Amino acid sequence: MKIQVRDVPPRSVWALQQGGIHPLLAQLYAARGVRSMDELDDGLAKLLPPASLQGSREAAQLLADAMAADKKICVVADYDCDGATACAVALRGLKLLGAKQVSYLVPDRVLDGYGLTPPIAERVSASGADVLVTVDNGIASVDGVARAKALGMQVLVTDHHLPALKDGQVVLPSADVIVNPNQPACRFESKSIAGVGVIFYVLLALRAELRARGLFDASSQPKLDTLLPLVALGTVADVVKLDANNRRLVAQGLKRIRAGALPAGIASLFAAAGRHAPMATTFDFGFALGPRINAAGRLSDMTLGIECLLTDDGARASELAALLDGINRERRDIESGMREQAQLAADAMIDEDEEPPPAIAIFNPEFHEGVVGIVASRIKDKLHRPTFVFAASQAPGKGHELKGSGRSIPGFHLRDALDLLAKRQPGVLLRFGGHAMAAGCTIAEENFGAFEQALQQVASEWLDAATLTRRLDTDGPLAPEYRRVDLVDALHQEVWGQGFAAPTFSEVVEIVSQRLVGEKHLALKLKHQGQPVDGIWFGHTESLPARVKLAFRLDADEWQGVKRVRFLVEGAEL
C-alpha cells in the first residue's frame, strides 16, 4: 500500500476560514474540492432546480393528469436500499400530493431478476394499474417497457443507471416519459444522484404542477421535506458520489432525523441496530440501516423492507425492523462462509511472492446469489483487483446459468469492460449492466472459463502497475491539539461518503504494545507525537514494527463513563 496525502489548496482554506469554518474542517473541505462557503450551504433553496432535470415537467404533467382522472398508479421498485427508499418516497409522496390509488410491486431477485421485465409488466397490468412508474430501474428495460405499453399502460421511467448499449449506441425504452440525469442531452448537473433522489425531484415537479393547476398555493401545499430522511438513507446506502447536491439532500435528512422528525421504520431500524437517531451519522446509513434493508432483498423479500419504511405504526415498524435485523444476521453468516471460500479460491490463483492476476473471477456452486456482490467487494478490497463472484442461478429453469456481481478499482470502468468483452466474445454474456465501479452479468456455466480469460485480458490491457498499486488518500498528520473528543464528535456530524471521503490522517507513530482481540483484530497502544493513544485495526492480525506509518480515522471510545480518542487504523505503509 502507498499512503498519499491529498493536496490542500491554500486559497480555499483561507476562504473557508474567513467564512468562520474551523481550521481543521477548512483543511478537510479544501482537500475535497470545496472552494467557497456557498458550496457548504446545505439549505433546500440551494438544491438544483427540478426544472433542470430533463423529463421532470412532463412526468409531473403525466402524474397530475392520472391523479385528476383517479387512475391506478403502480410503482415498480428495485430490491436494494435505494430502490426500497425510492418506493417508499414515491408512495408517501404521491399520497401526500393527493393520489388515491397507489400500489407497488418489487421484483424477486431470484425469480424475476433485475428491472422491469415483460412478466413484471404483465403482473402490474393484471393488478388493474393504468400507470406504471419505475423507481431506481427501467432505463435498460426496453422489452419490459414495450410490453407494458402493449398492455395499454402509460409508463414513467425514473432511474439513475446508465442506459443500455447496442453496437455502441444508446438504446432507450419507449416510455411515455423518462427522468434520468444519465440519459442523453440531460443537463442536470448531479449525474450521481441516487434513484431515490430522482423520484424526490419528480415529486417536487409534481407539486409545482399541482400548484400551477390551483389545487393548493405555496402556504397550503404539502410539505415534501418529511421525505428527506428516506432520501438521505437511500443516497448514502447506494454509495453514489456525494457531490454538493447529494450532500445537501443527505444533510437535510440527517437534520430531521436528529430532531426526531423521522418515519417509524427508520426509528425502529436505528433501535434494532443499537444506534441513536439523535446522533445519526452517514456511517449509520451505510453500515447499520442500509445493510439491514438490503438483506431483505438479498435473502428474502424486499417487501419487508419497503413495508418497514411505509408504516406509521410504531409497533409494526419495530416488528419489521426485528425481522430485517434477523435476516441481516443470516446474511452475515452466509457471507462469512462464502468470503472464506472465495479467498481460498483467490489465493489459489496466486503463486507465492507473486502479484494477483489483473482481474479476479470466482465461481462456487455453493454460493448464494444474493450475497455475491458483497463478497466481490470484500475480495476487491483485499486484493485490489477488479473482481467478479458468481453463483448458480436459483430461478426455475435457469440452473445452467451463473449470476455474477462485480466490483472494481479506480481506473477500470466495469460496465465498459463488460461491453468490450461482449464484443470480443459474442454469446458469452447473456445479460449485463451497471456502473464504473459495480456491475452485474449472467453467463452460461459452461462459459465461465471464457469469461474469466476475457476479463483478465481486458484488465491486462487497461491496467498498468501504477493503477494496480493500492493507494490510500489521506489528510496527512493530525495536529495534537485536534486530538480531542469534541472535535471527533463534530467530524462525525458532517456528511461524508463516496467521493467525499471521511477524514483519514497519516503519519509515523510508535507502537508501544500490540495484541490480538477477538482472534481477528489488532489492538494497539501507540505514541502519537509523544503522547499515548489507543488504536485498533479491525480485521488485521499481522504484527507491526516498532515505528510505522499508519493511516487512521478518529473515533471516540467510551470506557467506564469516560470518552477518549482512539485511532481506527485503515492501513500501514511497511
- End-of-domain residue from the set 434, 465, 496: 465
Can you tell me the mean pLDDT for 542-561? 93
What does each C-alpha distance from 323 to 334, 356, 483 come to in angstroms? 17, 40, 40
Average pLDDT over every residue of 141-151: 97
Same domain for 164 and 184, yes or no, is yes
- Domain holding 451: CATH number? 3.10.310.30
Quote the pTM value: 0.93
- Which cell numbers hold the place of 326? 434477523
Q: For residues 299 and 321, give the distance between their C-alpha atoms in angstroms, rounded to a whole number.
A: 15
Q: How confident is the model at residue 559 (pLDDT cuts 50, 70, 90)?
A: confident
Could you report the per-residue pLDDT of 149-200, keeping only the tens digit for each? Answer: 999 999 999 999 989 888 778 999 999 999 999 999 999 999 999 999 999 9
Please give the pLDDT value at position 182: 95
**Among candidate residues 447, 465, 483, the one where a domain is terminated:** 465
CA angle 184-188-189, nearest 5°?
115
Q: What's the pLDDT band for 257 if we cut at 50, 70, 90? A: very high
- Do 440 and 535 reside in the same domain of the chain? no
- Mean pLDDT on 61-69: 98
Question: Would you say residue 215 lies in a domain?
Answer: yes
d(CA 168, CA 164) in angstroms, rounded, equals 9
pLDDT at 111 over 90: no
pLDDT band of 361, cuts 50, 70, 90:
very high
Confidence of residue 511 (pLDDT cuts 50, 70, 90): very high
Residues 405 and 478 placed together within one structural domain of the fold: no
**How far apart, in whole angstroms, are the C-alpha atoms of residue 227 and residue 547?**
50
Predicted pLDDT at 382? 86
Residues 399 and 507 placed together within one structural domain of the fold? no
Residue 283 makes CB contacts below 8 A (sequence gap 6+) with 492, 496, 502
Note whether 18 and 11 are within 8 A (CB).
no
Signed CA dihedral, 403, 302, 413, 347: sign only: negative
Whether 199 maps to a domain, the answer reads yes
> Worst-scoring range by mean pLDDT, 55-64, 287-296, 352-361, 398-407?
352-361
> CB-side exposure of 518: number of CA atoms within 13 Å?
9
pLDDT higher than threshold 70 for residue 71? yes
432 shares its domain with 569: no
Q: First CA to last CA across the chain, in angstroms? A: 8
Cβ neighbourhood burial of 51 (10 Å; 0-12, 13-18, 19+): middle
pLDDT value at residue 352: 62
d(CA 264, CA 318): 8
Do residues 538 and 391 share a domain? no
* Inside any domain, residue 265: no
**Which residues form the domain of 363?**
349-465
Same-domain check for residues 381 and 499: no
CA distance 158 to 220: 27
The amino acid present at 74, given as its one-letter code, is C
pLDDT at 207 over 80: yes
Spell 236-263 as b/e; 16+ CB within 10 A means b: bbbbbbbbbbbbbbbbbbbbbbbeeebb
**pLDDT tens by residue, 440-452:** 999 999 999 999 9
Q: Stretch 120-142: mean pLDDT, rounded?
A: 97
Band of residue 561 on the pLDDT scale cut at 50, 70, 90? confident
State whether 355 and 500 are in the same domain. no
Cα angle 258, 263, 266 (rounded to 5 degrees) comes to 70
154-158 and 177-179 strand pairing: parallel
All three cell numbers of 440, joined, read 452485474
Calculate the average pLDDT of the chain: 95
- What are the DSSP calls for 500-556, one per residue? BPPP-EEEEEEEEEEEEETTTEEEEEEEETTEEEEEEETT--S---SEEEEEEEEEE
> Is 32 domain-assigned?
no
Reduced to 3 states (helix: H, G, I; strand: E, B; else coil), residue 485 is helix
DSSP helix/strand/coil, 461: helix
What integer is the mean pLDDT of 275-281?
Answer: 97
Q: Are residues 442 and 568 in the same domain?
A: no
What share of the chain has pLDDT > 70, as a percent? 99
CB 407 within 8 A of CB 418: no
pLDDT for 353: 63
Sign of the four-CA dihedral 125, 311, 63, 297: negative
- The pLDDT of residue 376 is 94
Residue tagged 427501467 (cell numbers): 138
Q: Say what percent of the chain tops pLDDT 90.
A: 86
Tens of pLDDT, residue by residue over 387-436, are: 999 999 988 888 899 999 999 999 999 999 999 999 999 999 999 888 88
Q: At what angle do helices 118-126 and 142-150 cross, to 10 degrees?
A: 30
Is residue 360 located within the same domain as residue 448? yes
Q: Is residue 485 within 8 Å of 554, Cβ to Cβ?
A: no
pLDDT (tens digit, 9 = 90+) per residue, 5-52?
Answer: 999 999 999 999 999 999 999 999 999 999 999 999 999 999 999 999
Provide the pLDDT for residue 75.
98
**CATH at residue 543:** 2.40.50.460
CA-CA distance, 173 to 118, in Å (whole number)? 13
Asked if residues 497 and 238 have their Cβ atoms less than 8 Å apart, the reply is no
Rounded CA separation 311/116 (Å) = 25
Structurally, the chain folds into a number of domains equal to: 3
Handedness of CA 46, 52, 57, 63 (dihedral sign): negative
CATH number at residue 165: 3.90.1640.30
d(CA 251, CA 436): 26
> b or e along 483-519 (b: 16 or more beta carbons within 10 Å of the residue's beta carbon)?
bebebbeebbebbbbbebbbbbbbbebebeebeeeee
Three-state secondary structure readout of 377-393: HHHHHHHCCCEEEEEEC
Predicted pLDDT at 157? 98
Does residue 313 lie within any of the structural domains? no
Task: Answer for the pair 284, 270: CB distance below 8 angstroms, yes or no.
Answer: yes
